[in-house]
Structure 1
Amino acid sequence: MKDLTKSAIDRQNILNNTEAIEKIQVHIGLVGLLYEGEYLFTSKMVADFFDVTTRTLTNILNENEDEVKHNGYQVIKGQKLKEFKDLFGPLLTSADDLSQKETDFPLSKQGADNQSFKRLKSLAVFNFRAFLNIAMLLSESENAKRLRSKILDIVIDTLNQKIGGSTKFINQRDEEFLVAITREPIYRKEFTNALNLYLEMGNYKYAVYTDAIYQAIFKENAKEYKAILNLEEKDNPRDTMYAEVLKLIASFEVGIADEMKEKAESLGRKLTPSELNVLIMRFSKKRHWIPLIEDACTKMASRDYGLRNIIHKRLENYIGALSKEDYSRFLGDKSKSLIDRVIENPELLEVFKRLKDR
């Protein structure tokens, strides 16, 4: 099980999963102070829930300020603070002002005539995502530990409910996948025709130079890729690849096909394998490919880690947190299984049959 206290990427992957967050909020049933359309929690409310002091909470914030702010933590002052105090003043405590010495008694208890809560100079508040962020950072709180365990269970259940337990073809839930996989045979045919016409080598050349393209883009050959994703022998790796990766492979295939033709015609003969190796190396090193390759590697590494719980060791440096947009693409309302898209669009049936028969 993942240790959320140690991995910022794992924490952010959960906090960006809007559907899972909604289910976690329903499960906890925690209601805060409704302000500007969302429930907020004061530092005292958060500290009490996790059974820690506000000093402990302050230490966590000091160590992880950028992360928690990114997820909805804020310190309100000025006019906004005045509005907040007008709405919720009697519910605030001196511990809610993290700039002051820690105390535990409600300011309202200091006397109605005094109304000391009005003296608050600043107020730390957390939305629900920031609240969960704190739960993932508090390593010494038993309440936080229990909540982290439940968070992971709900995230897994949400994923299983959406995709039926298998993530092998989760890439196909993206509507862009259909565009990419429909065009893929056209570009693939150009590449295999070029290998046939312009390369002096046996029939195993098709597998060899398909691997060469994979290696140039994401540093794995087909066998290695299938092993990492635990694919079966009959599985076509491209059926499991994300649309952006498929499009980049297609760009390489048609680009290399053109360069093979040009080189062979200039030589007046077919290329040797060593000549094609040099051609592919030079082709892949062209500067305009750098951002595209980095983008494809980042998407493959990050999505497979976040959605499939898979690490591509050679792409480990590319792993980052998935965005809310990515979760929407693969798990949100617009995401659908391939069979559901075919039911809605019968013209896609031939594409579905081709994929099914691979």
Structure 2
Amino acid sequence: MKDLTVSNIERQNVLNNRFAVDEIQKRLDISGMLFEGEYWLTKKMVADFYAVDISTIDRYLGSNSEELKHNGYVLCKGKSLKEFKSQFAHLINEASKTTQLGLFNFRAFLNIGMLLTESEKAKALRSMILDLVIATIHKKTGGGTKFINRRDVNYIPAAITEENYRRNLTSAISQYVQGHHTYKYAQVTDLIYKAVFKENAKEYREILCLDSKDNVRHTLYAEVLLVISSFENGVGAAIQEQYKQNGKKKLTIEEVEQIVGELAENPMQKPYLNDARTKMASRDFSFRDAYHGNIAEYLKAVTPEEFERFIGDESVDFEHILESNKDVLKRLKQAEDE
């Protein structure tokens, strides 16, 4: 089970998911004091809820100040403090000479609850948070996340692009590479997958718990597909060029492996490869609860904008779109049968 107390990425994945945060707020029924369009709680209110001393809250504020400020903790001062005290002096029990007041919005309140190890209430809250995050994502995706990548409006154009460049590659493999007519396609594909995200198709299937009938490419995010498109096109062109230089002698798999390796190390490819690895590692970890150990160094929190793209108002109903675009469905089916 994930431990929110030790991972900033896991905490931020919760806090960046407004759908989960809204559901947690409904369950807790905590509102606070409405000021300037947002509900706020004082340090004492937070300490009372979690049944810890204010000094404990202060200690966490000191050791995690940047994270808590990023997620909504503020020091209310000056004119804002004067206005706040004029409205809520009877609730906050602060001395009239106080020049600053620490306030938590709901996200910051959850944030410190994910950090507190001394509080049993915080421990119970963390358990509830993890359950609700999973339930919220599944509810938004209709019960499963295997193909959550298809909810991105950019997925279908990327899939078609990748299919077209894939044909360029398979044509080059067919004409210019030695080996069994079936096996060599899988071998070259594995070389490309290994270069792009450091896993072959079998390893990727195991991490995502895919069925034998599932096409790996149909689970990839749009950005990853476009990087693979670029890579496949480059490999196909390099195979054809090497074939000519070999005096029209077909290439061995070892020669193709060298081509793939050189392309992966090309400085022009590095930014695109790194971006694809970051998106795959981060999104799979958050949305699919899948951990890619070989690219763990690229793991980051999923942004609020990404949550909108995949489970929010910007996400799309893939099946509905395919029903409306049957020609696209046919092309994707042909790619799956290859």
Normalised-by-shorter TM-score class: over 0.9
- State the secondary structure of the residue aligned to 1:14: helix
What is the match of residue 4 of structure 2?
4
What is the match of residue 107 of structure 2?
129
What is the match of residue 323 of structure 1?
303
Confirm or deny that 1:188 pairs with 2:166: yes
Q: How does 1:1-358 map to 2 (within 5 A)?
A: 1-94=1-94, 117-203=95-181, 204-270=183-249, 271-343=251-323, 348-351=328-331, 354=334
Aligned residues of 2:215 and 2:336 also touching (Cα < 8 A): no
Alpha-carbon offset, residue 349 of structure 1: 4.3
Alpha-carbon offset, residue 184 of structure 1: 2.2
* Distance in 2 of aligned mates of 1:343 and 1:288: 38
5+ unaligned residues in a row in structure 1: which ranges? 95-116
Letter of the aligned partner of 2:152 in structure 1? D
Alpha-carbon offset, residue 336 of structure 1: 2.7
Letter of the aligned partner of 1:296 in structure 2? A
TM-score normalized with structure 2 length? 0.94
Letter of the aligned partner of 1:133 in structure 2? N
Aligned residues of 1:181 and 1:246 also touching (Cα < 8 A): yes
Aligned residues of 2:188 and 2:256 also touching (Cα < 8 A): no
* Distance in 2 of aligned mates of 1:3 and 1:275: 45
- State the secondary structure of the residue aligned to 2:269: helix
Alpha-carbon offset, residue 243 of structure 1: 0.9
Change (3 A) 1:83 1:354: farther
* Distance in 2 of aligned mates of 1:181 and 1:315: 23
Change (3 A) 1:342 1:276: closer
* Distance in 1 of aligned mates of 2:325 and 2:172: 34
Aligned residues of 2:194 and 2:200 also touching (Cα < 8 A): yes
- 1:179-209 Cα offsets, whole Å, 9 max, x none, are 1112222111100111122223332211111
Change (3 A) 1:146 1:335: same
- State the secondary structure of the residue aligned to 1:118: coil
Change (3 A) 1:118 1:347: farther
Alpha-carbon offset, residue 331 of structure 1: 0.8
Aligned residues of 1:50 and 1:143 also touching (Cα < 8 A): yes
Taking only the aligned residue pairs, the percentage that are identical comes to 47
Alpha-carbon offset, residue 26 of structure 1: 1.3
Aligned residues of 2:160 and 2:332 also touching (Cα < 8 A): no
Aligned residues of 1:39 and 1:127 also touching (Cα < 8 A): yes
Change (3 A) 1:2 1:176: same
Change (3 A) 1:85 1:344: farther
Deviating 4+ runs (over 6 angstroms): 355-358
Aligned residues of 1:20 and 1:155 also touching (Cα < 8 A): yes
CA RMSD of aligned residues (A): 1.8
Aligned residues of 1:239 and 1:355 also touching (Cα < 8 A): no
- 1:142-161 Cα offsets, whole Å, 9 max, x none, are 22122222222221221221
TM-score normalized with structure 1 length? 0.89
Letter of the aligned partner of 2:244 in structure 1? E
- State the secondary structure of the residue aligned to 1:120: coil
Indicate the structure (1 or 2) with the bigger Cα radius of gyration: 1
- State the secondary structure of the residue aligned to 1:287: coil
- State the secondary structure of the residue aligned to 2:75: strand
* Distance in 2 of aligned mates of 1:332 and 1:66: 27
Alpha-carbon offset, residue 68 of structure 1: 0.7
